Structure 1
Amino acid sequence: MLGLVPQFASHNVTINNLLPGPFDTGRLRGSKDIARYLTTNNSAGRVGDPMELGAMCAFVCSAHAGYLTGQNILMDGGKYPGNF
């Protein structure tokens, strides 16, 4: 798939992925044990606000991110240890 990204980018089509971790939703609020586990096992010490995901989505879909292509944007509050 990534081999196709430059081909589309030249036509102003960017291919990016938003990879959300735990966010404050009704499903998550329904289980206090899950919420407690998720807030104590990430760097942020909390779950994400859905508005944060929406703002990132709006940015990635905007003209401000026109040069951003072929990226995976992980929004998990630091839960994934890949960069540490």
Structure 2
Amino acid sequence: MRNLACTFKVNGIPKRVCLKKIAKERKFRVTVEGVQAEYSLTEEDTITPADDVQLPDTALLPHIEWMIRHYFIKTKQLI
């Protein structure tokens, strides 16, 4: 499992995002303000929520997608 943490400013308020790659799966666990959500990477390289949990701030979704695409470049080899 690989862990990443970044802080992004949303409307001037710093938000800490923790991203964890789940081992041997194409899934990622995101933690923001104590709320955990899972995202999965499909075969078409699109990132979709794996569960119905909503993050506290939807403005973080592009940042989370950027983190996944930037730090996990070879997404086809993640299986």
Q: TM-score, normalised by structure 2?
A: 0.26
Point out the structure with the larger strand share: 2
Q: TM-score, normalised by structure 1?
A: 0.25
Structure number with larger C-alpha Rg:
1
